[in-house]
Structure 1
């Protein structure tokens, strides 16, 4: 406040908090903490919130892929993911071949697991059967239908 025009004289609130909480336990620290708005003895990290939706069950480890998929030797082993647009207004599915890094974009009408499954199925059916060996999803909620997913399309 004393030097508004001099950026080098400014101190962020984060620096102030670090200074106060770095003090050893003393009367000075107690006085400083009491003058803070919240008055907590220990610094509480900002919480990003917890996802209250149920997690995906029976997830298989990515390490359970066939060795040829792990080694990226043979084309036909795919990784699926979903890219959401600004403000979650749109989405597009991505399929990436682990060996060639060939990318296929799949149109997704909404973010539901059914829509993602349908979009991936539609795009994978355009490939020759020899290039449809396995598909590994990420662990997002939009992949909740992975159990039912693409068995008939991949084999």
Structure 2
């Protein structure tokens, strides 16, 4: 039975300046399968995952060699829309990192950045998102309070 390879890397190297963090990484991720990356702290698991949605691009002085493909598209081609890529290759971080804004604005911000301006629609999507994250009942009466005041577990669900 054939498997649909969703993401794969071949010979992927990653550098922070002159320091090489990843060397010759070749992996395949099959669509609709769970894949675990395991290893000791500092071995490059998070760096590798950030390569898959180009979050490392935000770090000055980085360099990537090799191939990283999402379906049939090389994600490091200059023509790739990084915002669109990050919509397709999401990450759940080990530690939550909410914006220093209200609970409402932590959800609404992404909608606005992507061009949504209709306040009623934003409000509807924020509520739906918080319900899907199983946090709505806990925060519905304090949406204008800082997300930084939420517990760690609540921040994780928010993010």
Normalising by structure 2, what TM-score?
0.19
- Name the structure where strand makes up a greater proportion of residues: 2
Normalising by structure 1, what TM-score?
0.19
Query: Is the radius of gyration larger for structure 1 or structure 2?
Result: 1
